[in-house]
């Protein structure tokens, strides 16, 4: 995602990082360095995680960076207050992704842009196959294809969506390390997931089954899991007004229409 920022000419005057604790505090720091003069809003949909994020990012009052650098604000920005929404690894965990896309759209000013990444449908194909062979419900909910994300972006009011993806193979030394990584990545939101606690016998079967995921011969070979990572960015266009017999505009909308008309009369129709 950071590499893709070099293709975008606009330098946001303010931006929002959505759920940076999930998306990575190192990534947050890298984007903050790139746009050092731009204030940042740090937002999270889970209050407990929001408090942990604020604790991690808020500098002590005696640190010079708190007073000399661009301010970091915690909470949701006002509508139209930012030129960039940065959302790393958030959409695939949203209960209502369409509503989340629309909320990001409201945060953006006209000509602002959204940058996001999420997991795609080929994620955990090895683990899904193992669970099927053991007759268990899926280990994770289904992830959305990048073409469907593009359609949802357009329906949510974005313009010029650009989507691409890559597959990454991660290896782990042991079943314990693999399971610890999955617990850190998120929850199983599948509707048919097992709703109670699993027992020791189930856990032993899982550990034995994970040996089949080893990428080489022998018990010393690493365990391998595939992750499909989807990347996307899209713009928030200026609203196009359809002139009717009677059109009611707010004062802010009138200002935008007049400014657009001066720059490009073809935008008003």
Does the domain made of 3-237 have the CATH classification 3.40.50.150? yes
Q: Rounded to whole angstroms, what are the CA distances from 111 to 10, 159, 193, 249?
A: 9, 10, 41, 20
Q: With 80 as the cut, is the pLDDT of residue 100 above it?
A: yes
161, 148 Cβ separation under 8 angstroms: no
Domain definitions of the chain by residue range: 3-237, 244-269
- Of 156, 152, 129, the C-alpha closest to 140 is 129
Q: What are phi and psi of 199, to 5 degrees?
A: -95, 180
Q: What are all long-range contacts of 212-216, with beta carbons under 8 Å and residues at least 24 apart?
A: 212/130, 213/126, 213/127, 213/130, 213/178, 215/171
Per-residue pLDDT tens for 10-38?
A: 999 999 999 999 899 999 999 999 999 99
End-to-end Cα separation, the chain, in angstroms: 36
pLDDT score at 219: 67
Give 109's pLDDT tier (boundaries 50, 70, 90): very high
Give 7's pLDDT tier (boundaries 50, 70, 90): confident
Per-residue pLDDT tens for 238-266?
A: 887 665 556 666 676 666 656 655 555 44
pTM for the whole structure: 0.84
Residue labelled with tokens 């955990």: 124
Q: With 50 as the cut, is the pLDDT of residue 84 above it?
A: yes
In this structure, of 25-39, 133-147, 184-198, the range with the lowest mean pLDDT score is 184-198
Burial of 13 (0-12, 13-18, 19+ CB in 10 A): middle
Output the CA angle 130-133-139, nearest 5 degrees. 45
């Amino acid at each position: 995602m950071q590499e893709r920022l070099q293709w975008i000419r606009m330098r946001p005057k303010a931006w929002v990082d959505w759920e940076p604790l999930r998306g990575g505090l190192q990534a947050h720091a890298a984007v903050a360095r790139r746009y050092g003069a731009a204030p940042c809003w740090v937002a999270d949909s889970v209050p407990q995680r929001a408090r942990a994020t604020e604790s991690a990012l808020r500098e002590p009052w005696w640190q010079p960076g708190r007073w000399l650098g661009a301010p970091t604000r915690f909470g949701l920005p006002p509508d139209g207050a930012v030129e960039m929404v940065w959302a790393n690894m958030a959409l695939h965990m949203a209960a209502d992704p369409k509503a989340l896309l629309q909320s990001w759209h409201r945060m953006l000013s006209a000509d602002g842009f959204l940058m996001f990444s999420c997991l795609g449908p080929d994620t955990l194909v090895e683990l899904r196959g193992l669970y099927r062979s053991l007759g268990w419900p899926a280990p994770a909910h289904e992830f959305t294809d990048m073409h469907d994300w593009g359609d949802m972006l357009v329906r949510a009011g974005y313009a010029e969506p650009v989507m691409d993806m890559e597959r990454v193979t991660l290896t782990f030394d042991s079943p314990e390390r693999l399971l610890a990584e999955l617990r850190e990545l998120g929850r199983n939101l599948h509707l048919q997931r097992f709703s109670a606690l699993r027992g020791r016998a189930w856990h032993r079967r899982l550990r034995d089954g994970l040996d089949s995921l080893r990428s080489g011969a022998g018990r010393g070979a690493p365990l391998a899991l595939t992750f499909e990572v989807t990347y996307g960015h899209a713009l928030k266009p200026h609203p196009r007004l359809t002139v009717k017999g009677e059109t009611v505009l707010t004062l802010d909308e009138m200002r935008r229409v007049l400014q657009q008309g001066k720059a490009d009369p073809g935008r008003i129709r």
